[in-house]
Structure 1
């Protein structure tokens, strides 16, 4: 089992903060986070690209390579991905990848997972199904796809958008691999209690940073105090 896989503990979940640049990863590493993920929205938006259209994979892989100098494990969000992008991410230093089905053909996604594990067996493949992201929620289909993906070799299953604790508990019970959910409506302690092994922050930090940018600029314009305790120039540049 890899060091990254060992962080996925049911009942004591990995809290995966998602970054879009080196500075954010360094700050999180300094704050004690052992692993980070990239955020496809953050990386895409930071480069003027659309999210959800497989447009940001090259930028993500370049980011992974730059993060090699940061003392933190990195998982790359490759959206729907490909064998080529997954192998490239691994070669750049990623210890894991997130591959989403976009609610397309489940069999095709299972084949992708199988092919990626064959070419990069040490890579932690987090298989995402969009049954609760692109739909209002379909537990039966999430269970079907989750089992199919784990049987194809996925190391974890990610169901973003699922929020009810009974549904989350049913997924934990039905799967033999760690369950990943997106941070949202349920407190982390409640997710831990039902056996979740990974809680991703997704685009949360990126969106929070955008809010902080506009709020700070508006405060300056209104001649109001800005948030105290900001990192100094020396802190960031050092």
Structure 2
């Protein structure tokens, strides 16, 4: 049987879109994606809130709803594990396993503006605790968040990822990499599958495959693209009083109706 981890093949990257609810998950599954992942920013936006304000219970209930809606593996964006200490992260992983998820990610971000990144040693302890709680089949993606917090320190990012690999992380992820050289440096420095985030300036998927990337995810981008279409339609109705958006919506509706049938 092919497992979620088996889908991570360096040079043949798993394209992992991030739905924001059960409906979008089913649409993406119907399009042919082999696995999905939740998005903390996208889910928070559906609640009218900013990223980082969702509770653990809310995130796990959301993940369970996505899992129940589809037949492909689902990984969850569980932010920093909703805990500062390793045992708290481990408890989050144990609860995540109970939802039917295939895996989850754990960040080294604190959620605080004054000190946005967890100390490297503690960050590694947190990943180790997550791996221990995961058991044999639950995939832990360890994230080094430097680049999302204006700390473009590639050496420190790589060192963190290497430490995460040493304690058993299954997949490594440094969101915010945006050049082929940055991606190449990360991939060549670790011995685990590497996930990259679709990001302005990032090379296209075929080039990422040549660089040895094993997974490409989109974060909240699909949700915000959908909201961008909503804004455009709203402005058209308000400013021009026309209905060109209706033609596009008919095409999308047929696809969605087929997915939800």
Check 1:58–1:195 CA distance in 2 against 1; reply closer, same or farther (3 A cut): same
Check 1:58–1:71 CA distance in 2 against 1; reply closer, same or farther (3 A cut): same
Cα distance in 2 for residues equivalent to 1:3 and 1:215: 40
Give the C-alpha shift of residue 197 in structure 1: 0.6
- Alignment match of 1:144 (pick from 147, 153, 159): 159
Cα distance in 2 for residues equivalent to 1:101 and 1:165: 23
Q: Where in structure 2 are the equivalents of 1:65-76 lying within 5 Å?
A: 65-69=64-68, 70-76=70-76
TM-score where L is the length of structure 1:
0.93
**What is the match of residue 110 of structure 1?**
124
Cα distance in 1 for residues equivalent to 2:52 and 2:150: 15
Cα distance in 1 for residues equivalent to 2:218 and 2:257: 28
Give the C-alpha shift of residue 68 in structure 1: 3.0
Q: Where in structure 2 are the equivalents of 1:85-100 lying within 5 Å?
A: 85-100=92-107
Contact residue 96 and residue 124 of structure 1 kept, 8 A: yes
Contact residue 43 and residue 59 of structure 1 kept, 8 A: no
**What is the match of residue 56 of structure 2?**
57
**What is the match of residue 36 of structure 2?**
36
Give the C-alpha shift of residue 2 in structure 1: 6.1
Give the C-alpha shift of residue 60 in structure 1: 1.9
How large is the RMSD of aligned CA atoms in angstroms?
A: 1.8
List runs of 5+ in structure 2 lacking aligned partners. 82-88, 110-116
My pick for the range that moved more, 60-69 or 228-237, is: 228-237
Q: Deviations over 1:184-211 (max 9, x none)?
A: 2221111111101111101100110111
Give the C-alpha shift of residue 5 in structure 1: 0.6
The structure with the greater share of residues assigned to helix is 2
Cα distance in 2 for residues equivalent to 1:133 and 1:223: 39
What SS does structure 1 have at the residue aligned with 2:227? helix
Give the C-alpha shift of residue 86 in structure 1: 1.6
What SS does structure 2 have at the residue aligned with 1:98? strand
Q: How many residues align?
A: 237
Cα distance in 1 for residues equivalent to 2:67 and 2:141: 20
Cα distance in 1 for residues equivalent to 2:221 and 2:260: 25
Contact residue 94 and residue 133 of structure 2 kept, 8 A: yes
2:140 equivalent to 1:135? no
Contact residue 100 and residue 128 of structure 1 kept, 8 A: yes
Give the C-alpha shift of residue 236 in structure 1: 6.5
Q: Deviations over 1:76-102 (max 9, x none)?
A: 000000222221111101111111101
2:238 equivalent to 1:223? no
My pick for the range that moved more, 145-154 or 79-88, is: 79-88
What SS does structure 1 have at the residue aligned with 2:148? coil
What SS does structure 2 have at the residue aligned with 1:133? helix
TM-score where L is the length of structure 2:
0.85
My pick for the range that moved more, 63-72 or 73-82, is: 63-72
Give the C-alpha shift of residue 215 in structure 1: 1.6
